[in-house]
A and B are shown apart, each in its own frame.
Chain A
Amino acid sequence: MTSSTNPAIVATDLRKSYGDKVVLDGVDLMITEGTIFALLGPNGAGKTTTVQILSTLIRADGGDARIFGHDLTREPDAVRALIGVTGQFSAVDNLLTARENLTLMADLCHLGRAAGRRRIADLLDQFDLTEAAAKPVSTYSGGMRRRLDLAMTLVGEPRVIFLDEPTTGLDPRSRRAMWHIIRALVAEGVTILLTTQYLEEADQLADRVAFLDHGRLIAEGTPRELKRLIPGGHVVLQFADQEGLDSAARTLQAATRDDAALTLQVPSDGGVGSLRSLLDQLDSASISVAGLSVHTPDLDDVFLTLTGQPDTRAGRTHHERASAR
């Protein structure tokens, strides 16, 4: 699979609990250098805890992890020299300006004065913050703050970047801008571990995706592989009244009906041919359809299938992790 390339992050059997609450229940990760790995999961799945452990912020109760071969617990400073973290809650100094924040980072990364200034000017420019550079961060919008946050992470030119929900709370335009920045980073060879609740984000950005649920990885693979885990797409037919729904349901045996919404869900690959034959079938039965939408499988379906129906999960494919211990 990826054994021929260089692993940036390797974690084995990470465990963490707070009191009785098990947050991570044996998580394994293998992330190749120069790729984006997305950790997907609902709130409380353990995404942030995973990032906190891998970025040396907290210690795991069990298991071990290495970043470019450096053990997290034995050589934390070697690890810290390689990584950068942009958390869910902005890690900027609100009392300082953007330039002062970046200068603080440059000084802490021990960049020389001239090198530091150059790097800061470049980052301000790259993140579109030059104009606001002299204003206190407390006056910034959410998007600007997030950009500054990431710019601060980049001052030390980390080789591994942890992005914990980098676009949560951002408007669509800022989100696109952030995606653009993330893609550019990976193009330069940086390795990124991204956590997100947005399946579209993982689909857009990630080379590999893992689903985290209740502290366990329940599936892992490329977005394409994961989408193959669930049955194909479907067509949703909307009807004006109960009568239409009834007659359509009689005609299309394989469909699932929703009486409250007056819709019928028909399995389909979403192709033009199958759509045409579906419509022909309805026409010949003189059933009028009020609306139609084609639904191709996305990661949302994968996630809901994997987490919503735990009974049907076991033994589906080799991508699945055994959840029983």
Chain B
Amino acid sequence: MSTISLAVRDSSTMLRRNLLHMRRYPSMTFLLIGIPIIILLLFVYVFGGTLGAGLGPSGDRSQYANYVTPGILLITVVSAAQGTAISVAMDMTEGIIARFRTMSIFRPSVLTGHVLGSLVQTMLSLAAVTVVALLVGFRPTANPVEWLAALGVLAMVTFALTWLSVALGLVSDSVETASNLPMPLILLPFLGSGFVPTDSMPAAVRWFADYQPFTPVMETLRGLLLGTGIGNNATIAVVWCAVITVACFLWAKALYNRNRTS
């Protein structure tokens, strides 16, 4: 069997394993979907009136629901990524991983199984969160092609962050650490253009907000879904995601292959 077909076959076997885990223990998935929905409701119904007024002379709560949704979608991705880090770290404490290491299989398939499984899980979360956003006043103007492109952007950023969280799960020596390490990621949409425009921020914060990877992703999503200007944000977003994916894939692979003492 060639390396490629071995990789595909073993990865899909491992994907089935991860999907079974999710199906058997759906509470994790619900928890991960709950966080972005609560933040969404909080920001639309508690802060939305005031924050909407800050968007411009005609700004109100419904306009803020539109503004905040791309950021909430990224919070969804980050929340799911945290779940990935936890489940990878939990998996590594299981004896079955040692068994996989002694089998003649495509070695990274344990990891690719987690990544593909998380991709499926995150896409489901995103669908659920989008439905809630539509219910609270999100009114996208996107045509089918733009929807598809937005889906592509979300898949791309999910893929990148999932590899990052797989690496974080592997580098953690305990499940608690794995749960804490991705925590700062959830702040990134706040420290970007996710909840308020960056030009309302003080210079230093604004500089960070403008140059961190989540801002171009959110601006691209906003442009695709709501018709605002995208500019070169799409290109920057693609480059960021590609860099994160490759770097974290290599990092995760090295971590998985290192000699473990136990």
Contacts and interface: CB of A to CB of B under 8 A. Distances in A.
A92 B99 CA distance: 8
B104 A81 contact: yes
Contacts of A78: 104
B99 A85 contact: yes
Interface in A225-266: none
Interface string B71-114: 00000000000000000000000111011111111000000000
A83 B102 contact: yes
Contact of A110 (B9, B17, B21, B102): B9
B13 A56 contact: no
A92 B96 contact: yes
B103 A108 contact: yes
Contact of B261 (A18, A83, A95): A18
Nearest to B105: A108
B98 A104 contact: no
A104 B17 contact: yes
A55 interface: yes
Interface residues of B, number: 24
A96 interface: yes
Interface string B5-23: 0000110010011001100
Contact of B13 (A58, A90, A104): A104
Nearest to A104: B17
A280 interface: no
A93 B94 contact: yes
Nearest to A49: B261
Contacts of A90: 95
Contact of B95 (A91, A95, A100): A91
A15 B70 CA distance: 56
Nearest to A90: B95
B101 A57 contact: yes
A85 B105 CA distance: 14
Nearest to A59: B259
B96 A93 contact: yes
A219 B122 CA distance: 57
B157 to A, nearest CB: 28
A147 B154 CA distance: 44
Contacts of A57: 98, 101-102, 260
Interface in B1-49: 1, 9-10, 13, 16-17, 20-21, 24-25
Contacts of B101: 56-57
B259 A58 contact: yes
Nearest to A94: B94
A192 to B, nearest CB: 15
Given A95-B20, A110-B9, A56 B260 contact: no
B155 to A, nearest CB: 26
Contacts of B102: 55-57, 80, 83-85
B17 A93 contact: yes
Contact of B24 (A58, A59, A110, A136): A136
A18 B261 CA distance: 8
A57 B262 CA distance: 10
Interface in A73-131: 77-78, 80-81, 83-85, 87, 89-96, 100, 104, 107-110
Contacts of B25: 95
A156 interface: yes
A152 interface: yes
A92 B95 contact: yes
B135 to A, nearest CB: 33
A95 B98 contact: no
A100 B259 contact: no
A107 B13 CA distance: 7
A77 B96 contact: no
Interface string A200-216: 00000000000000000
A96 B98 contact: no
Nearest to A92: B96
A152 B103 CA distance: 11
A83 B105 CA distance: 13
Contact of B98 (A83, A87, A110, A152): A87
A55 B104 CA distance: 11
A55 B101 CA distance: 9
Interface pairs A-B: 5 shortest CB-CB: A91-B99, A80-B104, A91-B95, A81-B104, A107-B13
Interface of A: 18, 55-59, 77-78, 80-81, 83-85, 87, 89-96, 100, 104, 107-110, 136, 152-153, 156
Interface of B: 1, 9-10, 13, 16-17, 20-21, 24-25, 94-96, 98-105, 259-261
17 contacts: A57-B98, A58-B260, A81-B104, A87-B95, A91-B96, A94-B94, A95-B20, A95-B21, A96-B17, A96-B20, A96-B24, A104-B17, A107-B16, A108-B103, A108-B105, A110-B9, A156-B103
Given A77-B104, A92-B95, A104-B17, 8 more contacts: A55-B102, A80-B104, A85-B98, A87-B98, A89-B98, A91-B96, A96-B17, A109-B103
